[in-house]
Chain A
Amino acid sequence: MLWDTFILALREIRRHVLRSLLTVLGIVIGVASVIIMVTLGSGATVQVTEQIASLGSNLLMVSPGKRLGPGRDSTGSPFKLADADAIARDIRSLAAVAPSASKPATAIFGNENWSTTVTGTNNQYLKVRNWSIAIGREFNDGELRAGAAVCIIGNTIRENLFGEQDPMGQRIRLGKLSFQVIGLLVAKGQSTMGTDQDDIVLIPVRAFQRRISGNKDINLIQVSVTDGASTEKVQGEIELLMRERRHISSNEEDDFHVMDMKEIAKMLTGTTQVLTALLSAVAAVSLLVGGIGIMNIMLVSVTERTREIGIRLAIGALEREVLMQFLVEAVVLSSSGGLFGIILGLSACAGLKNVLQVPFVFNPGIVIIAFLFSAAVGVIFGYFPALKAAGLDPIEALRHE
Chain B
Amino acid sequence: MIQSNKTDNCLLIEFQNVKKMYGSGQAAMHALRGIDLQIDQGDFVAIMGPSGSGKSTCLNILGCLDTPSDGSYIFKSITVNRLNQNQRAQLRRHYLGFVFQGYNLLSRTSALENIELPLIYRGVPIKERQILAGQALDAVGLKGWEKHTPGELSGGQQQRVAIARAIVTEPAVLMADEPTGNLDTVRSHEIMELLADLNNKQGITIVMVTHEPDMAAYAKRVIYFLDGLIESDKKNGEIK
Q: Is the CB of A313 within 8 A of B120?
A: no
Q: Is the CB of A4 within 8 A of B92?
A: no
Q: Is the CB of B109 within 8 A of A317?
A: no
Q: Is the CB of B60 within 8 A of A316?
A: no
With known contacts A393-B67, A395-B65, A316–B94 Cβ distance under 8 A: yes
Instruction: Tell yes or no: A15 within 8 A of B by CB.
Output: yes
**Per a CB cutoff under 8 Å, which of B66, B109, B113, B165 touches A315?**
B165
Q: Is the CB of A315 within 8 A of B92?
A: yes
Cβ of A69 to closest chain B Cβ, rounded Å: 70
Instruction: Tell yes or no: B229 within 8 A of A by CB.
Output: no
Q: Is the CB of B66 within 8 A of A316?
A: no
Q: Is the CB of A314 within 8 A of B65?
A: yes
| Assembled-state Cα–Cα distance A398/B101 (Å) | 12
A residues less than 8 Å from B169 (CB atoms): 316
User: Which residue on B lies nearest to A313, using beta carbons?
Assistant: B89
**Per a CB cutoff under 8 Å, which of A1, A4, A321, A393 touches B66?**
A393
Q: Is the CB of B65 within 8 A of A393?
A: yes
B residues less than 8 Å from A315 (CB atoms): 92-93, 97-98, 117-118, 121, 165-166
User: Which residue on B lies nearest to A310, using beta carbons?
Assistant: B104
Q: Is the CB of A319 within 8 A of B93?
A: no
Q: Is the CB of A1 within 8 A of B123?
A: yes
**Can you list, as one digit per residue, whether each of A286-326 has a CB less than 8 Å from chain B (1) or not (0)?**
00000000000000000000011011111111111100000
Q: Is the CB of B90 within 8 A of A394?
A: no
Cβ of A257 to closest chain B Cβ, rounded Å: 75
Q: Is the CB of A395 within 8 A of B89?
A: no
**Per a CB cutoff under 8 Å, which of B85, B104, B123 touches A398?**
B104
Instruction: Tell yes or no: A259 within 8 A of B by CB.
Output: no
Instruction: Tell yes or no: B122 within 8 A of A by CB.
Output: yes
Instruction: Tell yes or no: B218 within 8 A of A by CB.
Output: no
Instruction: Tell yes or no: A352 within 8 A of B by CB.
Output: no
Q: Is the CB of A15 within 8 A of B94?
A: no
With known contacts A4-B120, A319-B85, A314–B109 Cβ distance under 8 A: no
Residues of B64-117 contacting chain A, CB below 8 A: 65-67, 85-86, 89-90, 92-94, 96-98, 100, 104-106, 108-109, 113, 117
Instruction: Tell yes or no: A268 within 8 A of B by CB.
Output: no
| Assembled-state Cα–Cα distance A4/B96 (Å) | 22
Chain A: interface secondary structure? helix
**Can you list, as one digit per residue, whether each of B143-161 has a CB less than 8 Å from chain A (1) or not (0)?**
0000000000000000000
User: Which residue on B lies nearest to A1, using beta carbons?
Assistant: B123
Cβ of A4 to closest chain B Cβ, rounded Å: 6
Instruction: Tell yes or no: A8 within 8 A of B by CB.
Output: yes
Q: Is the CB of A319 within 8 A of B117?
A: no
Q: Is the CB of A311 within 8 A of B104?
A: yes
Residues of A382-401 contacting chain B, CB below 8 A: 391, 393-395, 398
With known contacts A315-B92, A315-B98, A321–B121 Cβ distance under 8 A: yes
B residues less than 8 Å from A398 (CB atoms): 65, 100, 104
Q: Is the CB of B121 within 8 A of A318?
A: yes
| Assembled-state Cα–Cα distance A232/B158 (Å) | 87
User: Which residue on A lies nearest to B104, using beta carbons?
Assistant: A311
With known contacts A15-B109, A398-B100, A318–B90 Cβ distance under 8 A: yes
Output the residue of A15, A307, A310, A318 with the most chain B CB within 10 A.
A318
Q: Is the CB of A316 within 8 A of B118?
A: yes
| Assembled-state Cα–Cα distance A4/B124 (Å) | 10
A residues less than 8 Å from B93 (CB atoms): 315-318
| Assembled-state Cα–Cα distance A315/B63 (Å) | 10
**Per a CB cutoff under 8 Å, which of B92, B108, B109 touches A316?**
B92
B-side interface residues toward A, CB under 8 Å?
60, 63, 65-67, 85-86, 89-90, 92-94, 96-98, 100, 104-106, 108-109, 113, 117-118, 120-123, 165-166, 169
29 cross-chain CB contacts under 8 A: A15-B108, A15-B109, A307-B104, A311-B105, A311-B106, A312-B117, A314-B63, A314-B65, A314-B98, A315-B92, A315-B121, A316-B92, A316-B93, A316-B96, A318-B86, A318-B90, A318-B93, A319-B85, A319-B86, A320-B86, A321-B121, A391-B85, A393-B65, A393-B66, A393-B67, A394-B66, A394-B92, A395-B60, A395-B65
A-side interface residues toward B, CB under 8 Å?
1, 4, 8, 11, 15-16, 307-308, 310-321, 391, 393-395, 398
Instruction: Give 8 A-B pairs besides A310-B104, A311-B104, A316-B90 with Cβ atoms closer than 8 angstroms.
Output: A313-B92, A315-B92, A315-B118, A315-B165, A316-B118, A316-B121, A316-B122, A318-B86
